[in-house]
Amino acid sequence: MNKLPFPEDLYFHREHVWVRREAENRWRLGVDELFVQDLGRVTGMDLPNEGDEISQDEVCGLFRGENRRKFFAAPVTGEILEVNQDLYEDLDILMEDPYSIGWILLIDPSDPEEELDNLLHGEDALDWWEKEVELRRSTSPQAAEPDPALPAPDEIRMSVTRLENPEPDEPQ
């Protein structure tokens, strides 16, 4: 198997959201580095609350970035046990390590075994990832020149490039 650009225990939703089993009734969710790169510098987010129910494939949050806004789709159904409060203090951790300290939600899944069949894992996830990287390369405005911010398919790296944050925006 090729070296994966992400931890091998992750399952991916096609909307660039991952899920990892932490314990039988504890699953951690987050977004992948392509999701984060699409946003540019993350400037804000709207997430559900502890105790809320989320359903697979349904939008359960929104991230705002300097480049665009992106919805966060639930990879599995369940009850939210915890929201990563560190994100409210420092959104940069999402860019620093979206697969570890940049996690978003901890949930108690309703029926994870059945829903995992709808997600990508292992070689399937790697094939999908490589196609997503190529799609971004081919549709970028400078498609003739490789975008150094995107990992090369044959050299996919795990960490994202950290962007320097300009001064915070004025409150709206």
pLDDT in tens, 104-137: 999 999 988 899 999 999 899 999 989 998 998 8
Q: What percent of the chain has pLDDT over 90?
A: 61
CATH number of the domain encompassing residue 116: 2.40.50.100
Q: How many Cα neighbours within 13 Å face the side chain of 14?
A: 7
| Tokens of residue 66, six digits | 């300097």
Instruction: Tell me what pLDDT residue 112 has.
Output: 85
Res. 14: pLDDT tops 90: yes
**Residue-number span of the structural domain to which 66 is assigned:** 11-155
pLDDT in tens, 90-106: 999 998 999 999 999 99
State the CB neighbour count (10 A cutoff) for residue 12. 21
Does 171 reside within a domain? no
**Among the residues of the chain, which ranges form H helices?**
33-39, 86-89, 92-96, 112-116, 122-139
Tell me the whole-structure pTM to 2 decimals.
0.77
Give me the mean pLDDT over the 149-168 stretch. Answer: 37
Structural domains counted in the chain? 1
Res. 75: pLDDT tops 90: yes
Instruction: Tell me what pLDDT residue 4 has.
Output: 54
